[in-house]
Amino acid sequence: MRKLTFLGMAVGWMFGVQATAAEWIPIKQGDVTVREIDTTSIKRKGALVEFVGRHTFADKDEYVVGRREVKYLVITSRADCDSRTLAQLATAAYDEKMNLIDKQQIFQPQGSAVTPESIDESALDYICASAQSLK
């Protein structure tokens, strides 16, 4: 039993170290939210670009899962710079202490056109410009 506990702690520590290795760059800030991109997560695959974004909520009541208040929503996405679409691949909700509340993988992600002047358009513009430098 102790070995399993130690193994669980070691795996948790590894994921914690990996999470802190991210380089979050803010791309748009509203009155009560911030959207950031992890620059180390940007990966180009042909015309598509995968990346991880983080949405930070300042208002505790803005996003709730069950009865728990979400502080950070980490979103793994795929951008198609040619068609100007974004598809969510996975999400993970965390509280203010970065304790995982819920996570979800989307098995058949569908790309959606971004709304002009939205926070998603800002993310798409940043990712597509960054992806160009990866060519």
Summarize pLDDT for 6-53 with one digit per residue, the tens.
334 433 444 443 444 789 999 877 666 788 999 999 998 877 999 999
Distance of CA 109 to the CA centre of its chain: 15
In contact, 51 and 24? CB cutoff 8 Å: no
Q: Residue 102 has what pLDDT? A: 95
CA distance 64 to 62: 7
Contacts of 24 (CB under 8 A, 6+ apart): 36, 37, 38, 39, 54
70-109: pLDDT as tens digits? 999 999 999 999 999 999 999 999 999 999 999 999 999 9
More confident residue, 119 or 40: 40
- Cα 85 from Cα 82, distance rounded (Å): 8
Q: If you count DSSP H runs as helices and E runs as strands, how many of each does the chain have, helices first? A: 2, 10
**pLDDT value for 11:** 38
- Residues sharing a CB contact under 8 Å with residue 66, sequence separation 6 or more, in sequence order: 101, 102
Please give the CATH topology (third level) of the domain spanning 23-134.
Answer: Lipocalin (2.40.128)
Q: In the predicted model, what is the mean pLDDT of residues 52-64?
A: 87
